[in-house]
Structure 1
């Protein structure tokens, strides 16, 4: 590829400087002006081009490559607008008061064009399922509007966002009239100061093409859902018509090797994760990988993720795949392939018990009783379901409230469907004297002797450290296994400890020779953080970097431990068992073992 020469010209009507690129054979670039914001777009015209995802950033403004493509006229016709252009997030409800979202919008936002008021009826922030303060669920903003007739030309939804979450921006799902869905992944934004300071943020403009056929004369609805990730902040949004929609336009290719394996006719195949945006209509693509037969996939408008099966990589190196959506037209995508371990992921689901931290003590007791009752019901209806009480005190919470349910709980513990740990509560072990520390294990063993089961494991959650004499007490109490979900905010253990202790088992010994097999985990509620409580798509996306962090020389094994499922006193959702089952029916490895 030759060097790209850039020439600047002054765009008529706005006077801003824009760039044209010339002098390249394999790749051509177009940069156009769109309301003072440059837009960059890459197209492959050769067979050996490496295609990468690009984001053009100018003066704190990000534009998704391809999503602001040069489609349509320069003067599209607005059908409706919510908010004033460049009005910023302060023009909407709740600015500076995001924790009040659930109180103000318990059923999410429902906005009627021509009737609703943006300052009262449209929230400046749209939370995502990663936002605990907003209920840890997806949120849908619905716009209701009327059209005198179906638009003659294609439309586009223009979303201008003041900011997106800096670490985990949302994946958007756009649904028109309940039956046509489009997905788009937003880029990361600036930090959390934007939640109360409108001067902070990284603006994102997203133009989502919509064919006229999805609309109808009369009443219409458009729903914007944060399918995964965290929050985004609104500047304004507009639905426009007068757009020329390309029949098919694949952009923003990105490919990565994964540790996912599937059996095909009895032979193991490794998956390459291929992502791209389809700016056109629904289509099919064919993918050719070395040594494999041609693979065909349907693609939808918006964000697409395909898992292309290849022969397992035997060494690290660069490999090429060819992608085609039109006869005779191929894109070549380069992937860095790497050998991967056949992982087994052991999940120990529980809800963290933090009495008095999120609510009054009595309400916390009720919450964990509700979780235990849900677990008992799930055991009756789902043979794959397994649950754990995080602390033995949860059994006493239930006994005090419902003796019959407590008896059922003991039956499930005896059968191995629900786990009962050794420690009564999450103790600050350094404040306990020897007698108090021993007493912390007494209740679980009493229940074990009474109902005929052994207590062999203990855990400690959201505590910075554990006293050095603990392995002696654990071993003396008959405990063989110990895990701790370390509070890294108050005790950055892994910043100073031996790297082999990070998410890794080790023998923890005291001077008298007593020892337990121990595991120090970097936090807790890891199953939800990995997406196991959401769906297999989210799990697949988050599992890759997490397993990558463990694929290091000082971690010799192929088994990993996932500590907990739900955060501080959060409600339990039994769907994680079904997500694990669906995952295991799709992939041979990693195997999810709950």
Structure 2
């Protein structure tokens, strides 16, 4: 008779924005492990024995990313058990509760934004599929947006092309967002950059504030569908959303005119969900 798998131990969670990454200790080769079963229940408690209705996923590796969570933050309790190649189930390990990182869009006060943080490109110019007009309308590969005067539907194209895009001339496009502040921010602020999709090329989005480099965002490989589809919230959508939020250095913003520039230095286009500046409450 095949031995029963050992109890899974070492379950740990690494929370991030809209996701929780789980990992646990590997098991030996006696018996051979066919897969792990991961159970998840909303909240801070779980049934004493895992319920099949709570099965989140199966994994052949001692790791799983629970993605697609509400950016405002979600709390889940997880248990994991192993199944041998003979179909024998081990006992579930100790449950673990984790909460995903809440977005600054939920915890902060909006100072300025372009678009709605809703998983869609549809409020932006030329969405959802007229990308070919972007190089026609911006022959210098520069997009200018003046907060308080311009509107997303007429002045902020839903895609920012990059050097990997032949249709846009393989150029490094820049989007410049101009914001006027009545006073110098007294508290720290955060910049939120949400994307509905990227291309399979991934890439680098270089961000500067008032001419000072802030960071280079490493863009994940996406589904390359966001140039034709504008809603990642539709059930079954293959669009690959990504969320990027970063603190702005002290003194980066100033009284009067501020210019935030997004420079797609490497890779293919990004499909905007929204960008915003948020004051910490």
TM-score of the two chains, using structure 2 as the length reference: 0.63
Q: Say whether 1:240 aligns with 2:278.
A: yes
Aligned to 1:83: 115
Query: Where do 1:475-490 residues align within 5 Å?
Result: none
Structure with bigger helix share is 1
Question: Are the aligned partners of 2:104 and 2:278 in contact in 1 as well (CA < 8 Å)?
Answer: no
Query: Where do 1:222-261 residues align within 5 Å?
Result: 222-242=260-280
Question: Are the aligned partners of 1:165 and 1:230 in contact in 2 as well (CA < 8 Å)?
Answer: yes
Query: Where do 1:495-574 residues align within 5 Å?
Result: none
1:3 corresponds, among 1, 9, 26, to 9
Q: Give CA deviations for 1:323-353 in whole Å, capped at 9, x if unaligned.
A: xxxxxxxxxxxxxxxxxxxxxxxxxxxxxxx
Partner secondary structure for residue 3 of structure 1: coil
Q: Give CA deviations for 1:390-428 in whole Å, capped at 9, x if unaligned.
A: xxxxxxxxxxxxxxxxxxxxxxxxxxxxxxxxxxxxxxx
1:99 corresponds, among 129, 132, 143, to 132
Aligned to 1:306: none
Report the CA distance between 1:197 and its aligned residue. Answer: 2.1
Question: Are the aligned partners of 1:170 and 1:232 in contact in 2 as well (CA < 8 Å)?
Answer: no
Report the CA distance between 1:70 and its aligned residue. Answer: 6.7
Aligned to 2:153: 119
Q: Say whether 1:221 aligns with 2:205.
A: no
* Alignment partners' CA distance in 2, 1:110 and 1:141: 6
Give the number of equivalent residue pairs.
199
1:38 corresponds, among 4, 12, 19, to 19
Query: Where do 5+ consecutive residues of structure 1 fail to align?
Result: 6-20, 22-28, 43-53, 63-67, 244-594
Q: Say whether 1:154 aligns with 2:188.
A: yes
Partner secondary structure for residue 154 of structure 2: helix
Aligned to 2:67: 58
* Alignment partners' CA distance in 1, 2:102 and 2:228: 34
Report the CA distance between 1:241 and its aligned residue. Answer: 1.6
Question: Are the aligned partners of 1:152 and 1:212 in contact in 2 as well (CA < 8 Å)?
Answer: no
Question: Are the aligned partners of 2:145 and 2:176 in contact in 1 as well (CA < 8 Å)?
Answer: yes
1:203 corresponds, among 235, 238, 241, to 241
Q: Give CA deviations for 1:450-482 in whole Å, capped at 9, x if unaligned.
A: xxxxxxxxxxxxxxxxxxxxxxxxxxxxxxxxx
Aligned to 1:188: 221
* Alignment partners' CA distance in 2, 1:97 and 1:55: 37
Aligned to 1:171: 204
Aligned to 1:133: 167
* Alignment partners' CA distance in 1, 2:271 and 2:187: 30
* Alignment partners' CA distance in 1, 2:178 and 2:138: 17
CA distance 1:204–1:124, change in 2 (3 Å):
same
Query: Where do 5+ consecutive residues of structure 2 fail to align?
Result: 1-7, 24-62, 72-99, 232-236
* Alignment partners' CA distance in 2, 1:4 and 1:75: 31
CA distance 1:185–1:121, change in 2 (3 Å):
same
Aligned to 1:423: none
Report the CA distance between 1:162 and its aligned residue. Answer: 0.6
Q: Which has the larger radius of gyration?
A: 1
Q: Give CA deviations for 1:333-385 in whole Å, capped at 9, x if unaligned.
A: xxxxxxxxxxxxxxxxxxxxxxxxxxxxxxxxxxxxxxxxxxxxxxxxxxxxx
Report the CA distance between 1:204 and its aligned residue. Answer: 0.8
Q: Give CA deviations for 1:251-279 in whole Å, capped at 9, x if unaligned.
A: xxxxxxxxxxxxxxxxxxxxxxxxxxxxx
* Alignment partners' CA distance in 1, 2:70 and 2:182: 36
TM-score of the two chains, using structure 1 as the length reference: 0.31
Question: Are the aligned partners of 1:89 and 1:162 in contact in 2 as well (CA < 8 Å)?
Answer: yes
* Alignment partners' CA distance in 2, 1:152 and 1:197: 40
Question: Are the aligned partners of 1:61 and 1:203 in contact in 2 as well (CA < 8 Å)?
Answer: no
Question: Are the aligned partners of 2:174 and 2:263 in contact in 1 as well (CA < 8 Å)?
Answer: yes
Query: Where do 1:227-376 residues align within 5 Å?
Result: 227-242=265-280
Question: Are the aligned partners of 2:105 and 2:192 in contact in 1 as well (CA < 8 Å)?
Answer: no
Report the CA distance between 1:198 and its aligned residue. Answer: 2.2
CA distance 1:70–1:40, change in 2 (3 Å):
farther
CA distance 1:115–1:135, change in 2 (3 Å):
same
Partner secondary structure for residue 170 of structure 2: coil
